[in-house]
Amino acid sequence: MNRIFFLLLFVLCPVLAGAQSAGGSYYEPSDDYYIHIGSGRFTAMKRDTNTYLIDTLAYGNYKQKNSCIQVKYKKNDLKERKETIEIKDGSFVWRGMTFKKEIHFVKVEEMPSFPGGNGALMEYLSKNLKYPEETKEKGLQGRTIVRFTVKADGTLHYIQVLRSVDPALNRECARLIKSMPTWNPGKQNGHPVDVDYVIPFSVHPQ
């Protein structure tokens, strides 16, 4: 029997008065893509919809000029080697998709919580996780680490597998998180904020 433990192109760049730094993380509404800009580096990532693992689509160096960033790619799955991206009101279009800047906290004064607390979360996971037969047959063991964002309204988004034991188990962990009820959001200075949260699923065959 298997036991599962839960451990807690150039374009004109408008000159904007007081133009802010482009640095930060930008997310696309489908939850499958996100882009990080910072310290002179541009990185575009995609979540695999089958394994929930993250793959890097493109990365390179950038320089900011007014409201634009000029990217020189070191890796790009398309042909472009240089690109100018205009950022307006904290968002931009890349490959026909709109990305919006979001601030995700890792630690806040009041961390987000499952309704009823950690005990209720453990019970929910134990009762609802269905151990995949294909994973069981392989006799795999180890730890699947899943990260997701608890939004300021308590909904769960951006589910990603940081460490994988088996793709089938990745999908099951993601399914379980998607099926969770709305959480109590995290708070900073008394205000609800977006917080990244991690759950390790440890699998030990017996």
CA separation, residue 28 to residues 81, 141, 145 (Å): 22, 34, 23
Nearest to 67 by CA among 26, 98, 22, 25: 22
Q: In what order do the strands lie in the sheet with 68-76?
A: 82-86, 68-76, 54-65, 41-47, 33-38, 24-27, 97-102, 91-94
Other C-beta atoms lying within 10 Å of the C-beta of residue 13: 18
Q: State pLDDT tens for residues 76-126.
A: 888 889 999 999 999 999 999 999 999 999 999 999 999 999 999 999 998
Q: Which of 93-97, 112-116, 141-145, 196-200 has the lowest mean pLDDT?
A: 141-145
Average pLDDT, the chain: 88
Backbone angles phi, psi at 41, to 5 degrees: -120, 135
Nearest to 4 by CA among 126, 166, 182: 126
What pLDDT, on a 0 to 100 scale, did the predictor assign at position 5? Answer: 54
Alpha helices in 102-203, H assignment, sequence order: 118-128, 133-138, 167-178
Nearest to 55 by CA among 73, 33, 37: 33
- Name the strand (E) or helix (H) holding 71: strand 68-76
Q: How far apart are CA 76 and CA 194, in angstroms?
A: 30
Q: How far apart are CA 11 and CA 13, in angstroms?
A: 6
Handedness of CA 170, 178, 130, 204 (dihedral sign): positive
- What pTM was estimated for this model as a whole? 0.84
- Type of residue at 84: T
Residue 20: pLDDT band (50, 70, 90) is low
Interacting residues of 85 by C-beta distance below 8 A, sequence separation 6+? 68, 69, 71, 92, 93, 94
Instruction: Please say if the pLDDT value at position 25 is more than 70.
Output: yes
Q: State pLDDT tens for residues 35-57.
A: 999 999 999 999 998 999 999 99
Q: How far apart are CA 72 and CA 77, in angstroms?
A: 13
What pLDDT, on a 0 to 100 scale, did the predictor assign at position 16? Answer: 38
